[in-house]
Amino acid sequence: MQQVRARQRVPLGTNQRLPLCRQTIVGARPSPGSARLSLPCAGLLLPARCWLPARCFCNRSFSCLLSPSECSRVFHAAGARLVLCGKAWEKLEALHDALISVADPSVTFTPKLVFLDMGDINNIQAVGKEILDCYGCVDVLINNASMKIKGPAHSVTLELDKKIMDANYFGPITLIKAILPHMISRRTGQIVLVNTIQGKLGVPFRAAYAASKHAIQGFFDCLRAEVEEFDVFVSTISPTFIRSYHVQPQPGNWEASIWKFFFRKLSYGVHPVEVAEEVLRTVSRRKQEVFMANPIPKAALYVRTFLPELFFAVVATGVKEKHFAEEEK
């Protein structure tokens, strides 16, 4: 049986709104290794109707790559009814307590918690029904669950490949298929994907991860056209990657290689607060696609599209340089 924790709801002041909250809970980083694996973070759903800044009435729901703490704080402060989902129950409770400890109970709703494991595909349909029962509907679904792995493609087992696909593709689309019919019948809703640049651009030693992100990106691109006639909006947000709060890229002689220069720019990433605020803007303005990156990754996407042979040569050179450096050690 799924665990559900529903706390007493407090009234929402319709003519009031709170400023965006920038406090955060920092997530753990993946442990080092040749094939590094980080488990899915908690998902986050925004059911029922909610008022956002600038009097924007939002009708959609969400799941994402980043730690959900920043997004949940931003939306909770804006007056959304939240259902926080994940399989780390203690972390969900800690996030719940952190949200209500800084909020004004007269103008916010107390979040509800639902246990959800994106890797347990057979149980997600039941969890979707449980989520719908929290408020009777879901207006905004934000998909932010993610599992990462790093290592040469030949060294990653097929079992790990399947786990990555379950967490990053089959799990999210199973939840979407559980929620979407209710949005279509009500002719309102929004589904948001916080993806990554690797949904558009493959990076060596991340083959399984990039494949899963390409798959979910393709699914959302198709879904967008399919549900437009039902007034259901589909949005994707693709940062380079979401960096931690205190870790900065290591200095070095990166100018010696185009590959290294590109990935040094890529490694700066996007701050979690920036991503959370962009998710809020995307929901309120119903944006279809957002790409959060500095000019270097954006240029790489254009090179990949219009000059593929040049792009592949640069990437291959980077891999050869990496192997050469390892042999010298």
Name which residue leads in pLDDT, 135 or 319: 135
Distance, in Å, from the CA atom of 218 to the CA atom of 3, rounded to the nearest integer, reads 32
What phi and psi, each to the nearest 5 degrees, are found at residue 7? -105, 165
* Catalytic residue ranges: 209
182 or 119: which leads in pLDDT: 182
Task: Output the CATH code of domain 4-248+269-294.
Answer: 3.40.50.720
Q: Burial, 244: exposed, middle or buried (Cβ in 10 Å; 0-12, 13-18, 19+)? A: middle
Type of residue found at 276: A
Those residues whose C-beta lies under 8 Å from the C-beta of residue 156, and which sit 6 or more positions away, are: 35, 149, 207, 208
Strands (E), the chain: 4-5, 36-38, 43-46, 50-52, 56-58, 61-64, 83-86, 112-115, 140-143, 148-150, 189-194, 232-239, 289-292
Domain boundaries, the chain: 4-248+269-294
Q: How far apart are alpha carbons 124 and 176 in whole angstroms?
A: 10
- The pLDDT score that the predictor gives to residue 58 is 37
pLDDT one-digit tens code per residue, 250-268: 444 444 454 455 555 455 6
pLDDT band at 171 (very low <50, low <70, confident <90, very high): very high
